[in-house]
Structure 1
């Protein structure tokens, strides 16, 4: 039996907190859920109706790459949202972004290759890479630069210890930081110059509060694009996403999909096809996040958390807790048990410096955000 502690695998603390929060709710406790990046709204009504109509007939496998209708819809999406022509044969529908990462890693790299990620960053990046036998290179980003990665950061890290790939998200989890078009261009060009394969995690596209999200496909046809219906389209539990793969990786990625996952869930693909046409509904949810974003950022600052400007995108606030604690795990455990507020300790995203940070999600309801601020205020005063 492999001891997970020997190869660096760590629990996904956001899910650990969620498990504890659900257990408390089962005893009758009221919990404000700010721990997971899960939209508070359901999918658009037309999405749910389409699934109802599809049952019980739609129960078989689909093409490994996905329904032709869904891939055609994604072609239209890239043309209308990004002005890019995408070959439908380069699109693979996946079980959320999670299986997309697995396919990307195995399609583009050999076992043992080193993949760079930012620190702080989404914890599943590191854990998935380690679990699959790849090496990890972490590139620190800091609040001083708005948590944004630069080409200079990449070049400096590569000079210290070369790596084969870079996995990068904009907007990012946990900080919500996003690079603009020029910043993304710099990252793309730096990777090309260094011979580094670029994987662009675009799962939070659409949730950018400064303007339209920029896809790496607008700048290069050599990047692997990962996206999902989970966040913008409010479909976390449906486990449906997609990837756009450069021609040289398409066949290998398809073969891996056939063998590892067969195909994405049929009903979820039907739902996703309809969701692409429901952007007005998604924009309504985004407007609610935008309100929550300002209220939570202001509330945390008033309570003494270290927060800068509201996040560029996604739906997270990454807050310093030095005024209260130097142990984010203990802080979050106590805040959940004593105040009924669930948030994620920063060590989930940064094993080195995350002990001084907590991530709050404002993807839920405005009421939950307001209640959380009130509860935290009372709890901190009592402490």
Structure 2
């Protein structure tokens, strides 16, 4: 028999769309956040050298000391924040880090406050530990930035954690320092823990990036190598945890994950040593793609209402078109050969939207724009 917990897990529609698209010919993928860049060459070389040197055995569950020290140095270099390497737990991707965070913080029946829109999988992580989801609406008129008063009203005595994401999927919004500081204060007053997904850090264009660790040590901060370093299939992430949670998270990691791959951890050290110039070039390329797609969405007559500041997504309002967002995404896949994600995947506030990913080359984006324009003119007018 399937457990009730498993039965309540909803599909990840972006992956459903990807599976359908992969079974078709000549499809342009704007549905998933898969960077089209390659990792730095030194990352490949380090991984190969580590394999040849026999770095294929288990490591400590919390990760290799060299990598944890490199991550701590990253926080000092990027944000001026002093992080004890003993507070860092390395994980096989950022999603397992979120699972550890929920398991460490949430008891059955506890509430976890999410934004709406939110990353599609967040609610399922909460349900996996028998927590309850409570949401705070975000508005395109605010650039999908959270209002502190809304969070203050949503947090109760039953709130165990606030799950935040900046730069955000699916909106591309980037929280400023005052907002992060205010959310930290709200969490502290409620004796709740901010769990902040910062996996898109390094991919902001029009806003300064701040880590929650600038404002409180009583937060769980998640990050990884998939987005910034285009290492999605390498499965390497990390979490910084409050001192009081270190032992509990380490025990959970020992039992649930064992460890991240040894040789990949060596490659992670090399990735963190990547010269800043290369990352700046990647950011500028994403900015150009964003600007082109924003221009196209406006030309199509779809209401954007904001400009994404980071990550590589935008939400376009299609609520005025016939059918729901799932219908329209299906039409674009079948008639235009362009895969996009229906907004319903990201919460009720995004149900009338489509998410477009611009993590693909500009030639493909131009072709997708022309195809979508044709379908909008012939099928939806």
TM-score strictly above 0.5? yes
When residues 194 and 5 of structure 1 are mapped into structure 2, their CA distance, relative to the original with a 3 A threshold, is closer
Number of the residue aligned with 2:167: 171
Q: Which residue of 1 aligns with 2:201?
A: 205
**Separation in 1, partners of 2:158, 2:255:** 31
Please list every run of 5 or more consecutive structure 1 residues that lacks an aligned counterpart in the other structure. Answer: none
Contact 2:160 2:191 in 1 (8 A): yes
Q: Which residue of 2 aligns with 1:61?
A: 58
Given that residues 47 and 263 in structure 2 are in contact (C-alpha distance below 8 angstroms), is that contact kept between their aligned partners in structure 1?
A: yes
Structure 2 counterpart SS, 1:203: coil
Deviations 1:294-316 (A, max 9, x none): 00011011012111232011111
Residue 118 of structure 1 aligns with which residue?
115
CA contact 2:145–2:173 (8 Å) conserved in 1: yes
SS at match of 1:123: coil
Contact 1:48 1:271 in 2 (8 A): yes
Aligned-residue offset at 1:276? 0.4
- Residue 368 of structure 1 deviates from its aligned partner by 1.6
TM-aligned CA distance change 1:235 to 1:292, over 3 Å = same
**1:327 Cα deviation from its structure 2 partner:** 0.7
Deviation, 1:134, is 1.5
1:322 is displaced (CA, Å) by 2.5
130-139 or 269-278, which moves further after superposition? 130-139
User: Which residue is 1:265 aligned to?
Assistant: 261
CA distance in 2 between partners of 1:6 and 1:60 (Å): 32
Contact 2:205 2:287 in 1 (8 A): yes
Q: Give the gaps of 5 or more residues in structure 2.
A: none
Q: Tell me the SS of whatever aligns to 2:377.
A: helix
Whether the aligned pair in 2 keeps the contact of 1:325 and 1:356 (CA below 8 Å) is no
Distance in 2 between the 1:3 and 1:258 partners?
24
Match of 2:34? 38
- Kept after mapping to 2: 8 A contact 1:150/1:186: no
Q: Distance in 2 between matches of 1:64 and 1:362?
A: 35
Q: Residues 227-238 of structure 1 correspond to what in structure 2 (within 5 A)? A: 227-238=223-234
* 1:92-171 pair list within 5 angstroms: 92-158=89-155, 162-171=158-167
Cα distance, 1:332 vs structure 2: 0.6
Which runs of structure 2 are paired with 1:1-383 in the superposition (5 Å)? 1-2=1-2, 8-24=8-24, 29-56=25-52, 57-158=54-155, 162-278=158-274, 279-350=276-347, 352-383=348-379
Q: Pick closer, same or farther for the CA change 1:81–1:6 going to 2, 3 Å.
A: closer
Q: Secondary structure of the residue that 2:322 maps to in structure 1?
A: coil
Secondary structure of 1:165's counterpart equals strand
> Would the aligned equivalents of 1:328 and 1:354 in 2 still touch at CA under 8 Å?
no
Number of residue pairs aligned between Structure 1 and Structure 2? 377
User: Aligned partners of 2:248, 2:173: CA distance in 1, in Å?
Assistant: 33
Q: 1:326·1:356 contact (CA, 8 Å) conserved in 2?
A: no
For the 8 Å contact 2:5–2:130, the answer to whether it is kept is no
Q: Is the 8 A contact 1:95 1:240 kept in 2?
A: yes
Q: TM-score, normalised by structure 1?
A: 0.95
